[in-house]
Amino acid sequence: MAAEATTDWSSLPADLASRIADCFLAANDLDYYIDFRAVCHNWRAATTDPKTSQDPRFRPSRWIMLDEASSTDARVFVNTTTGRFLRKDLPLLRRYHMVVSNTGGFLVLADRNPPHAPLVLNPFTGSMIRFKAPPVRSEFDLTADVVGDSPTLLLATRSAHDKFVFHLADPDSEHFIFREDAELEADEFSDSIRYSMLALCSVTVELAPGEMAIVRKGQRQGVDLFRKNSATMAMDRVTSIGSRALFLGRRCVSIDAGNFPTIEANCVYYKKSDDPCMYMYDLALDEEERIDKSYSYPPTILQLIFSYTTNVPIYLLPWENSTESFIKSLQSINFWEFCELLKEV
């Protein structure tokens, strides 16, 4: 016991400390990695500083933020692979407007001061990337992804005609590039950006890291999943996703059901356009089940993830921008036209 009490863990060999840290990164447990490096100088020296590295393992990729709208600085994240919950204080949010999070764990924020330029925050490492382009104006729900090392900020929303509209910008871009879903095959975009666009349209879903499937609504019930056969290049129907479960909505999430109570493996959860209830489709049995829409309190993890995928926040420009636009519109109307408008009110 005395020997254990005097063990100097700071003298842990550098290669062993590095291997322990790599285990945290393999599960995308970035908070554990940061805490590990904070223990002592020797452990920091044996590991890479995520703020100065372009290693993709330092990017959040398996986290979703369950409470995007909150009146406090704390936010609740869940790791979709390990099932671990994390309540994280983010005092930095006091200085910015929360816009939306992506299904990996990045947060898209906006400056509180005009022109409210967007920025991307890694909530685990504290790394922040600012964008020059002015914010996207939208009256509809907004989803996002962060693609590549530069990176490219990709925002997706729907038009008044229920078409997907994409906005893309790099950190130094003066404005967002505007594209509609009919232009997804444009050669100007890299494969990674096109794949991200398809995912934001809920056309594709990631079954596991690097493994994508195409999603189609079933003719009778449920959904059909297809993956490309690398040998024949044909699209094979997927009848099993093993221990995974898929949640399909405005955002699509793949989770390891074995680490989430109340969630069934090899099943797909979704909502139909004409019914607010949750549906579960069992791929093995080819059966669809309608789940009661009544919610328990506190909500189950099934309800929380379903709500995350089906309810996407609507980001409106801050009040001062709306006021500025209103004043400009009044200035464009002459006095007599303004009086006529008042008569009609």
* Average predicted confidence (pLDDT) for the chain: 84
Q: Quick check: 87 pLDDT over 50? A: yes
Q: Give the predicted TM-score (pTM) of the model.
A: 0.84
- Banded model confidence at residue 274, pLDDT cuts 50, 70, 90: confident
Question: Is 258 buried (19+), middle (13-18) or exposed (0-12) by CB count in 10 A?
Answer: middle
Measure the CA–CA gap between 55 and 58, rounded to whole angstroms.
Answer: 6
Q: What percent of the chain has pLDDT over 70?
A: 85
| Segment 198-247, tens digit of pLDDT | 889 888 888 877 788 889 876 667 788 998 777 777 888 888 999 999 99
The CA distance from 78 to 89, in Å, is 14
CA distance 254 to 241: 10
Predicted confidence (pLDDT) per residue in 278-290, tens digit: 999 999 998 999 9
Q: Indicate the angle between helix axes 14-26 and 30-37, nearest 10 degrees.
A: 160
Least confident of 113-127, 162-176, 307-321: 307-321
pLDDT at residue 297 in the model: 76
Quick check: 166 pLDDT over 50? yes
| Predicted confidence band of residue 292 (pLDDT cuts 50, 70, 90) | confident
Is the N-terminal amide bond of 298 cis, ω within 30° of 0? yes
Q: Which pair of structure tokens corresponds to residue 123?
A: 């909530």
Asked whether the predicted pLDDT for residue 188 surpasses 70, the reply is: yes
Q: How far is it between the farthest Cα atoms of the chain?
A: 91
Sign for the pseudo-dihedral over CA of 287, 293, 294, 296: positive
